[in-house]
Structure 1
């Protein structure tokens, strides 16, 4: 048995584990760990009182509330309507289906600055949509929410799509045969299966929105304490040569984002175990 394993490992077409693992660690170190470590090292040049003042000033706290709040709400909206869009694309045939499917990927391909300018023009006071709205969208926190919702939709749809395509219609037919209503079929048959993918799409949309910059700065208005997002505040501090202050805010964003992603991944794992036990 030991000889056969060694022979199989020696004659494998793909590189061995040692080589592949070493390359993986080296690549991740160069691309991910070193830049993040540099941010932490620069932040460590601050004393604790200076660090605390830099990351808890009223202007910074206002940017946290707007960035995390708008990102969370945008991801929630995309989770709901992304599921609806994905369901329509997977389960129904209609004229122009390929066009609609391609439009889902538009936020991926569209430069973020172009998206920001387009959203600002559409939702401004004299824009195509904004002129008919009883409230102001552009240059307000609501504009930030609109931009973050726009860029997050493809993550939910593309994550859910392969799961719904593999979902057998026989399960729904069996539930209907047993007397289940459409809502009961969705609640007890479909939703438990797609929940892990839905949470993954939500996490991706949320993480993408946290770091968004280009599509937001045009429509936000960038008013301190009102519509200023945290990535813009980091750029502002860099332009003022306050590198330690910028990295301090970046470290807070990194730690909070990582903690949120860990929590969401733990929830996904729990959902998979629960689904496997049913």
Structure 2
């Protein structure tokens, strides 16, 4: 069907012609690679049981330990990002020049990417970097300030790179909450804290849970920061590094796929737990009447 024919076609026909390419792209980019990865994860390189790759992962301390190492980075980073995003977004919920300036500045870490952020951190936070020199010049700390090539370097990098994303999601959600609800509570004697705790926070929980889930998935898949700023042979040997080593150092693609499947399943469990927690709060409309 040509473009002219598509323009004059009935809406039902146009929808069919638009959906078909989207389905093909979905199958080619997501469904087929996932099915292929699952299939080869049950094909161990050395033969044996189809569960050999998974048994090896869960019975090898250095491999299964990557799950806990990754969770120790992803969970605190997610909590810090969400915890900082809520008060900042709440204070900037009204459209203003200040809001536009701050949101524009916070877009910069998103555009830089994790590699450039890591490069900047190596300059500022290394033992001979500017931050260490500043602390020593003020005589605040006499020993070596080490915020890179360890756990803290990776955690700081995750916060820097993911906070703008969480903040923008939270801001878009909190700015859509009907402000007349808080005004009505104010007329009944509720102060600012009570308005936030009793009005905004329950209505914000669905949006926060979505932001937390997306942030956790991103931080759980940490790879470049763990290598450039962490200790990939020690406390920051995350599960993505284990999958990379299996695929490109041992050339065991079945094992790498099994690790990736375990990684995805762990993320799915946490995301399901977040959404289950969300059900304990109000889930009705929160934006009616605004505008």
Q: How many angstroms does 1:270 deviate by? A: 5.4
Give 5+ residue unaligned stretches, structure 1. Answer: 1-9
- Partner residue in 2 for 1:33: 31
- Partner residue in 2 for 1:102: 104
- Taking the aligned partners of 2:33 and 2:219, their CA distance within structure 1 comes to 20
- Taking the aligned partners of 2:256 and 2:105, their CA distance within structure 1 comes to 36
Q: How many angstroms does 1:269 deviate by? A: 5.2
- Partner residue in 2 for 1:126: 128
**Structure 1 or 2: more helix by fraction:** 1
Q: How many angstroms does 1:55 deviate by? A: 4.2
- Partner residue in 2 for 1:254: 264
Residues 75-86 of structure 1 aligned to structure 2 (within 5 Å)? 75-86=78-89
Structure 1's consecutive aligned runs of 4 or more residues displaced over 6 angstroms after TM superposition are: none
- TM-score scaled by length of structure 2: 0.80
- TM-score scaled by length of structure 1: 0.83
1:114 aligns with 2:123: no
Q: How many angstroms does 1:13 deviate by? A: 7.5
Q: 1:85 to 1:128 in 2, by over 3 A?
A: farther
Q: How many angstroms does 1:250 deviate by? A: 0.8
- Taking the aligned partners of 2:127 and 2:217, their CA distance within structure 1 comes to 30
8 Å Cα contact 2:157-2:225 kept in structure 1: yes
**Aligned partner (choices 193, 208, 212) of residue 202 of structure 1:** 212
Residues 1-41 of structure 1: per-residue CA shift (max 9 Å, x gap) = xxxxxxxxx7328723x445544432221111111122111
Q: How many angstroms does 1:79 deviate by? A: 0.6
Superposition CA RMSD, Å = 2.6
Q: How many angstroms does 1:50 deviate by? A: 4.2
8 Å Cα contact 1:151-1:209 kept in structure 2: no
- Taking the aligned partners of 1:30 and 1:256, their CA distance within structure 2 comes to 24
1:190 aligns with 2:200: yes
**Aligned partner (choices 244, 247, 271) of residue 235 of structure 1:** 244
8 Å Cα contact 2:70-2:236 kept in structure 1: no
8 Å Cα contact 1:112-1:215 kept in structure 2: yes
8 Å Cα contact 2:82-2:211 kept in structure 1: yes
**Count of residues in correspondence between the two structures:** 264
Secondary structure at 1:129's aligned position in 2?
helix
Q: How many angstroms does 1:93 deviate by? A: 4.6
1:137 aligns with 2:147: yes
1:71 aligns with 2:74: yes
Q: How many angstroms does 1:77 deviate by? A: 0.6
Shifted more, 254-263 versus 71-80: the winner is: 254-263
- Taking the aligned partners of 1:259 and 1:162, their CA distance within structure 2 comes to 26
- Partner residue in 1 for 2:61: 58
Q: How many angstroms does 1:160 deviate by? A: 1.7
Q: 1:50 to 1:13 in 2, by over 3 A?
A: closer
8 Å Cα contact 1:234-1:246 kept in structure 2: yes
Q: How many angstroms does 1:254 deviate by? A: 1.2
Give 5+ residue unaligned stretches, structure 2. Answer: 1-8, 287-291
